Amino acid sequence: MNPSAHIAFRVAAAFVALGLGGALIAAIVGLVLTNVGPAASASLSLCTKDGVVPAGGKDYLAQNNVWNAETPQCITVGDQSLRIDSAAHDVSPEGAPAATPSLLKGCHWQDCTDVGDLPVQVSAMPRVTSDWITSQVDTGVFNAAYVVWFHSGPVADGTPDGAEMVIWLRSRGGVRPGGVMLAREVQISDARWNVWLARDQGRVRITYERVGEATAVRDLDISAFTGDSVGRGLVSPDWYLIAVEAGFNLWRGGAGNAIENFSVSVDDQKPRRALGTSAPTPCFAALSVEETWTGGFRAVVEVTNVGDSPVQGWTLDWTFPDGQHVEKASVGQVTQSGSSVRVVGAAREGVLEPGKSTSFDVVGSGVSPGIVSITCTPA
């Protein structure tokens, strides 16, 4: 990482914390950046697993980012563009991907671009939008997704401690978002999205999975996704948006996928809008079908305390998609009206501590329900 770039980003972050505007920050950053090194005006090859290089000018970086495998990968980096030349990965789609080659604006761990319009605080976020054009192959196992990082302060010295917000545009090979589905077909930025929630390394990961695949987006409203996550209590208004990345998660193969163009715009000319306060999200629940037979199924429902204080009991509400009916459950009280199910339960040990989970079985009649969105309300 270019030392001047890192210093410039930290200077910008400090003035964001003081409430200074983007134009003044940009001017100050210009004074700091006396020796930023050459921009990637011509294409170059990058094969080192953790290699990071400029991607056209000072505002974007490219990262090879082979982080969960030892297999080789090479990319070609151009002006706000990236192409995967070779990728020999073969890891299970059930786990984490082998690599995430991507372009970024902002600060990914200690690698920072030379811009003054990021970070921005969530509580006073301007309109943040992005254009992203890709070309994608029809072989291998991968997805194409944004990752937006949030941190408690303006700059993360290590792993961001806020949230990881994923905007999932397309996948191949059967991979799906991890965690539990919170909502179906939510309308954001001129498209519909299924919303997923997971916990990873102590961090919240919110995934917006597009209904209907896309290989290109224009004027994607990242601030609108942020507002939705704030409203769900998953992103704090006190946090900072520190980076926007766009790239490919690769499980198997991936050569031939490319980013033709990527850009992020932070509109400081329009009035900033308050995104409100976050509502509590103390628990969530997921239903997984374990067995099926003609006319019936057995599922496991897992309840997790994602709040900061112990939970003694909860109420779960869900709607079966195809008229399934609960025949019995290894939990206190179950009621069903039509397709709507309500389960009232309690922790087996008296309380469910923060970060802990418990589960119970449900035996039902009808076809397998697949993915079921559950609302969990603590007692």
d(CA 226, CA 168): 14
For residue range 118-132, list pLDDT tens digits in order: 889 999 899 999 999
pLDDT of 29: 37
Give the SS3 label for residue 4: helix
Residue with more model confidence, 124 or 371: 124
Assign 203 a pLDDT band (cuts: 50, 70, 90).
confident
32: its two tokens = 């700091």
For residue range 63-89, list pLDDT tens digits in order: 999 999 999 999 999 999 999 999 999
Q: What's the sign of the alpha-carbon dihedral 10, 223, 371, 350?
A: positive
Q: What's the sign of the alpha-carbon dihedral 261, 101, 105, 6?
A: negative
**Residue 22 pLDDT > 50:** no
**Residue 28 pLDDT > 50:** no
**Residue 1 pLDDT > 60:** no
* Beta-bridge partners for 368: none
pLDDT of 156: 57
Give the SS3 label for residue 185: strand
For residue range 205-253, list pLDDT tens digits in order: 999 999 999 999 999 999 999 999 988 888 989 999 999 999 999 999 9
d(CA 45, CA 85): 9
Assign 4 a pLDDT band (cuts: 50, 70, 90).
very low
Assign 114 a pLDDT band (cuts: 50, 70, 90).
confident
- The total number of residues written for the chain in this structure: 379
End-to-end CA distance of the chain: 49
DSSP 6: H
Strand order from edge to edge, sheet including 357-365? 283-293, 296-305, 357-365, 325-329
**Residue 6 pLDDT > 80:** no
Average pLDDT over residues 255-273: 83
**Residue 153 pLDDT > 90:** no
243: its two tokens = 């980076």
Burial of 63 (0-12, 13-18, 19+ CB in 10 A): buried
Sequence-distant (6+) residues with CB within 8 A of 286 are 179, 180, 181, 301, 302, 374
**Residue 3 pLDDT > 70:** no
pLDDT of 275: 58
Task: Label residue 325 left, alpha or beta by phi (over 0 means left) and psi (-120 to 50 means alpha).
Answer: beta
Mean pLDDT for all residues in the chain: 84
Contact in structure between 306 and 283 (CB atoms under 8 Å): yes
222: its two tokens = 């990242």
pLDDT of 118: 86
117: its two tokens = 């319009």
Look at residues 53, 32, 241, 211 and name the one whose alpha carbon lies nearest to residue 130. Answer: 241
Residue with more model confidence, 174 or 41: 174
d(CA 108, CA 127): 21
pLDDT of 92: 94
For residue range 280-336, list pLDDT tens digits in order: 567 878 888 889 999 999 999 988 887 778 888 889 999 998 999 999 998 878 999
Residue with more model confidence, 280 or 259: 259
